[in-house]
Amino acid sequence: MIVRTRMVRWIVTTVPLILLCTSLSIPAQAEPAQAPGCDPGRSTVSHRDNIQVAGTSAFEPCLVDTGMTTGESGLAIDSDGALLRTVTTGPTGIAVSEDDGATWERRVLPPGTTPDLADGYRDPVTDRFFYTGVGSGPVFATDDRGRTWTAGTIEPNLQFPGDWPRLFSGPPVQPRAGGYPTNIYYCNWTVPTGLTSGTRCYTSRDGGSTFQQSGPDIVPVPCPDPLFTPGIGHGRGVVDPRDGTIYMTVSACGRLEVAVSKDEGASWIRHSVPDSHTGGLRSIVDAIGSPGWVPQNLGGRINPVPAELSASQLSDSISLDAEGNLYVVWIDSGSYLPRLATSSDGGRTWSAGKQFAAPAVVQAVMPAVVATPEGRIGLSYYGSTDKLTWTGYLAVSDDATEPSPTFASAAVTPPGAPLMTEPCCWANGIQEYTMPRWAPDGSLWAAFAATRPSGDGEGVVGRLIPVAGSGS
C-alpha cells in the first residue's frame, strides 16, 4: 500500500513537470524567411504558342534595387551565390551582394576606368571575374569580388577604341599542363559602328594577363537588299566544355548567324539561322510610327535609340547545355517579339523560331538566354503591353527543344509599376542588353535598369524563385 501511494504521488508531481519541460524545449515552427524583394502574391504564368496553359512549374517573381546608378546592365553569380552586378556609375565599379540582394556594396574599379559599354564576366571554373569597357583596354580581373584588381593587356593594341566588348571563357582544345585552366576570350567590333562592323577576337591563355589576336576577323558580308546593313555586332560566345568549340552569334544582312570555331578562334565557319529576321533600316520607319517615341523626344526626354532600333542588338543571345544543344534568341523584325531556336548538330541546322513573350506583351527588346547543363533555359528581356511603358520579364522552359515548348513567365514588377515609365531604351543613358544567370539554389536572376528623372538609370536585379511543391 505504501509503495502504491508513493507511485501515485510520483506520477502526480513528476509527469506534469516532464510535460512542461517537453513543451518548453520544442520551439514553434518558424515561418520560412521571405527572400528580399519577392512577391508571394504573384506567380509565373505558363504559356505555349502565346496562349496561357496549365503549368507544372511555378516561380515567384522578385525585384531588388542595388541603390546605385548603372550603365549597361550585367550580372555574374559566384559558385556560392554571391551577386556581382555591372556596372555602377559615379564612381565606376561593380555592386556586390552576398545575402541574396538584401544589401549591396560598391567595389570601385581603378581610377579612370570607363563605365561606357561595359561588360562583366565570371569564369565558372575559377570564379575569377573580368571587367572591360569601351576603349583600347585594359581587361581588369579580380579574385576577391572587386576588392582588388589587376590589369591585363591586349597585344597588339586595338586599332581603334574598341566597341561592344564581350568576354567569355572555356577549356582549350588541347589540355594544358599547368597554368590557368581556361582560355579567356575578348571580342569586339572592328570599326566603331555596328552597322558595318565585323568582329575581332583575342585570346588569353594566362588568366587575363595578356591577350593576343585569335585569328582572322569575322567579316561582314555584302547585302543584296539595301534595307539591311552588313553587320550589327556580335553576341557573347559560349565554349563547349567537351572539346573547346566556340559558338558566337553575329548579325548579318538581317539574319542571325552562328560563327563556329574549333581551333580557339584561329578560323571560323558560319551557319545561318533560317527562321531569323533581325531588322534593318525599316526599323527607323517603325520607330517614327510608334505611339511614344516621337512625343517622348519632343517632350524633352531625349531617347536616341528607340526599341525598334535596338531590335538587332545581340549580347547573351546563345547558350549551350551539357548534351551540346544550342539555344539562340533574337527579336523578330516583323512582330518585334522575341524568338528562340535550337540546334542539336553544332549549329548546322536549326528549329523554327518559337515565340516566347508572355501573353500580354506586344513588343519586346534585348532578349537573352542561359541554359543549365540539364537543358532548363532561363530568358530575360524588356517587354511592353502598350508600347509606352516597359518592364523586365523573366521566363523558364524545361522543354525548349520541343516543337511547342512551354514557358513560365512573369514581369519582375507588379502591374502598374513598370521599370520604365516611358518608351525604352536610352532616355537614362545607354541600355543595350539584359543578362540572365542561374544561381546555385536553382533561382533565375537577371540585371535590368529602371527609369530615373535624369542621369543614368537605376541598377536593379530581377529574380524567379521556384515555388515549393509546384514541381519547379
pLDDT tens-digit series, residues 404-421: 999 999 999 999 999 999
Q: Do both 356 and 407 map to the same domain? A: yes
Asked whether residue 335 is assigned to any structural domain, the reply reads yes
Whole-number pLDDT of residue 431: 87
pLDDT reading at 5 higher than 80 = no
Q: Which residues contact 14 (CB under 8 A, 6 or more apart)?
A: none
Asked whether residue 321 is assigned to any structural domain, the reply reads yes
Whole-number pLDDT of residue 194: 62
**For the chain, how many structural domains are there in total?**
2
The sheet carrying 269-272 orders its strands as: 238-239, 246-252, 255-261, 269-272
Whole-number pLDDT of residue 12: 38
Mean pLDDT of 253-276: 94
pLDDT tens-digit series, residues 23-81: 333 344 334 568 999 988 899 999 999 899 987 669 999 999 999 999 889 999 999 99
Give the N- to C-terminal CA distance of the chain in Å, as an integer. 66
Asked whether residue 15 is assigned to any structural domain, the reply reads no
Q: Are 394 and 62 in contact (CB under 8 A)?
A: no
The residue among 255, 272, 289 that closes a domain is 272
Which is higher by pLDDT, 161 or 253? 253
Cβ atoms within 10 A of the Cβ of 348, count? 11
Q: Do both 412 and 298 map to the same domain? A: yes
pLDDT tens-digit series, residues 121-138: 999 999 999 999 876 668
- pLDDT class of 283 with cuts at 50, 70, 90: confident
Please state, for a pLDDT cut of 90, what percent of the chain lies above it.
Answer: 68
pLDDT tens-digit series, residues 218-253: 877 778 877 777 766 799 999 999 999 999 999 888
Whole-number pLDDT of residue 282: 79
The residue among 272, 290, 316 that closes a domain is 272
Mean pLDDT of 378-401: 97
- We report the CATH number of the domain holding residue 241 as 2.120.10.10
Whole-number pLDDT of residue 9: 42
* pTM, two decimal places: 0.91
pLDDT tens-digit series, residues 302-322: 999 899 988 888 899 999 999
Q: Do both 306 and 240 map to the same domain? A: no
Q: Do both 266 and 294 map to the same domain? A: no
Asked whether residue 112 is assigned to any structural domain, the reply reads no
Q: Which residues contact 176 (CB under 8 A, 6 or more apart)?
A: 205
The residue among 246, 272, 298 that closes a domain is 272
Q: Do both 297 and 184 map to the same domain? A: no
Q: Are 325 and 374 in contact (CB under 8 A)?
A: no
Q: What is the mean pLDDT of the chain?
A: 88
Q: Do both 400 and 252 map to the same domain? A: no
Whole-number pLDDT of residue 138: 85
Q: Do both 264 and 321 map to the same domain? A: no
Whole-number pLDDT of residue 24: 35
Cell of 37: 524583394
Q: Are 132 and 87 in contact (CB under 8 A)?
A: no
What does each C-alpha distance from 378 to 25, 71, 223, 253, 436 come to in angstroms?
44, 23, 33, 28, 7
Report which listed range, 25-39, 104-118, 156-170, 217-231, is most confident. Answer: 104-118
Q: Do both 263 and 296 map to the same domain? A: no
Whole-number pLDDT of residue 26: 36
Question: What range does the domain containing 375 cover?
Answer: 35-69+281-472
231-245 burial by CB neighbour count: b if 16+ within 10 A, else e? bbbbbbbbbbeeebb
Mean pLDDT of 452-472: 89
pLDDT reading at 347 higher than 80 = yes
Q: Which residue shows C-alpha cell 562583366?
A: 120
Asked whether residue 160 is assigned to any structural domain, the reply reads yes
Q: Do both 398 and 321 map to the same domain? A: yes
Asked whether residue 214 is assigned to any structural domain, the reply reads yes
Whole-number pLDDT of residue 158: 60
Which is higher by pLDDT, 11 or 245? 245
Closest CA to 457 of 468, 467, 447, 449: 449
Which is higher by pLDDT, 238 or 159? 238
